């Protein structure tokens, strides 16, 4: 069983915990947060033990074949009922379900999030 945890941001920073709504606005830990910043914990951690949330920007290595390992940067999204890694660098638009995440990605590291990093 995995933890169901959310995070969201207000003007002062991120808050973590249960997600509730009041007057149609999301609250985390009793703090009203900006709706566009709410993201769910994937149930996974990176190589440093940092929890990975929807909206995080991660750096990871992927094995395309046994002889080629490529470093990629992308964001974590929730789509079609699963968490996915959306690559920024590849011309073709590849999505991978998080269930494949541990099998094909290596050295995963959270390097930011889409709410604090411009140009994403």
Q: Where are the domains of the chain?
A: 6-113
pLDDT of residue 60: 84
pLDDT of residue 99: 40
pLDDT the model gives residue 40 = 94
The helix or strand, by DSSP H or E, that contains position 31, with its residue range, turns out to be: strand 31-32
The model carries a pTM of: 0.82
Average pLDDT, the chain: 82
Among 83-87, 90-94, 107-111, the least confident range: 90-94
**31-68, pLDDT tens digit by residue?**
999 999 999 998 888 889 999 999 999 988 877 667 77
Of 74, 70, 76, nearest to 104 by C-alpha is 70
Q: How high is the pLDDT of residue 97? A: 46
> How far, in Å, CA of 87 to CA of 113, rounded?
14
pLDDT score of 52: 92
Q: How confident is the model at residue 16 (pLDDT cuts 50, 70, 90)?
A: very high
Is the pLDDT at 92 greater than 70, yes or no? Answer: no
Q: Is-contact 85 76, C-beta < 8 A?
A: yes
């Amino acid at each position: 069983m995995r933890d169901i945890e959310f995070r969201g941001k207000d003007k002062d920073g991120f808050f973590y915990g249960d997600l509730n709504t009041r007057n149609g606005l999301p609250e985390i830990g009793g703090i009203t947060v900006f709706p566009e910043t709410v993201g769910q914990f994937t149930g996974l951690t990176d190589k440093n033990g940092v929890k990975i949330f929807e909206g995080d920007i991660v750096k990871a290595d992927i094995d395309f074949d046994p002889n080629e390992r490529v470093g990629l940067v992308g964001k974590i999204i929730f789509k079609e009922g699963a968490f996915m890694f959306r690559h920024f660098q590849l011309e073709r638009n590849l999505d991978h379900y998080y269930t494949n995440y541990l099998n094909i990605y290596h050295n995963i590291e959270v390097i930011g999030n889409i709410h604090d990093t411009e140009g994403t």
